[in-house]
Structure 1
């Protein structure tokens, strides 16, 4: 799955040690006694922000993915760079991440209601669930009790799956984080929300290979429409394409587009071209309820990646205590 919904970079597939699935015990009722209003605070903040900026849901969901895929779900993506260290949010694939202010606002409210209690990592996990539900998608119980990490390195963002990845590369990337092929296809459905600038997919449109000018896996009419939006040379840095024709609504339209050869990213379309994932794409395209249930289950599983008992509860999500 290519989580770079707005910008992309040339990313090499390398083998790294990714934090494994946690042995720490997370609990949906973790804050029931210490901060019972925590989820309501986050949910209301998300709702208010989304009313003023419809792009917030896609941005928060992408932020959660990018956080969990680097050091696990430890809110390291929220840390600001320092003079001594460039943080994840300033790595090439993350330059386009937005809406950090929404998490800041929720955290400020949480600190006022329940000082030194709710971690930034849990705040982001709750927010990711809420933006999906707010957009018409499924809801789920968020397991809580994560601690915030103290390390954030921009050079580690090279390990994010790229829009140009094929299915084998995606499977490898997800498996190193303890996620299955089903999780890969389900979580890729998060692209039902969001927009991509031309830079993430224009290589499919012009001089694709020595044989084909355009990626042959693209629907011909769709490819022509993308070429009009992303001509060569392209002087409009804001030009791009929604990843789903109903990009403000969380639904299974993303899978229907892939079946029609209208996957925007090469990584998206590759899921239909590989026998290991094709049948799952077809199943989710036929049955939105199945997609919703599997997406919710995979989000819970993703939320467990790299969770550690070490760490802290940051008072400010942008800096370590």
Structure 2
């Protein structure tokens, strides 16, 4: 318990201070193209802060649910510009049914279709693009930063029920508008646009490259499939093998199997839990997938390419087929 609190308090204090320090350096440097380096640094820092907000939203930091909620709210909305309400609405459905068609929102990406059926519903030009979508996967990841901010704003301004709507509107508004005004006050218009493009691009690429290896290319469960909790979470998830530096870089998302089995487990404990879970799965004949980061990206690219060509799911699992009628 002490290790958990020490770990998270260091991040809760350290990361916001680093963001504030980076913004102070940004103001001090002034109108120079060297600011693009600052943009890269801020893109990385905002992603690391988003990982911390992800931990708080999963109740990993504090024992109190309210403390976790408000921590995630402040971190996500004020420091990153992402709506906690939007994230909770989307991410909760993903955790309940990962890679399940028609249920997991992460299987319905607007740009890259993940099932042959979605490819067939597109026109000829879009089907051609889908057939070559592996080439576009990494180039479009930088756009994810803009997409995340846009989805957050759309969510808090929508007619759907949103807890603490006005708190989120105020925090996100202050973050997005205030940050944009600061950038244009310090930099000339052309440089300001370049700065925002680099910062948002790094943020989007880093976020997308950290989340993509976790489920893409793993078993896709059909809408009518019936499968137990353990198999559902393990067979649809993939761990990324690496050292503690990778743990930091990926915000603990490299232990995706353990995270899905125990969503509230604090991030520093995932590394110790992984070998225990792996042995438990092996003893019961449940495939436990673990690869390197580069191998995972290769699996993702190969999978979306094959789907884009209209092939059936190459990772279709016989276990799911057997249990559809259960």
Q: Indicate the TM-score class for this superposition, using the shorter chain for normalisation.
A: under 0.3
Structure showing greater radius of gyration is 2
Relative contact order (alpha carbons < 8 A, sep ≥ 6): 1 or 2 greater? 1
TM-score by length of 2: 0.27
Q: Which has the higher helix share?
A: 2
TM-score by length of 1: 0.28
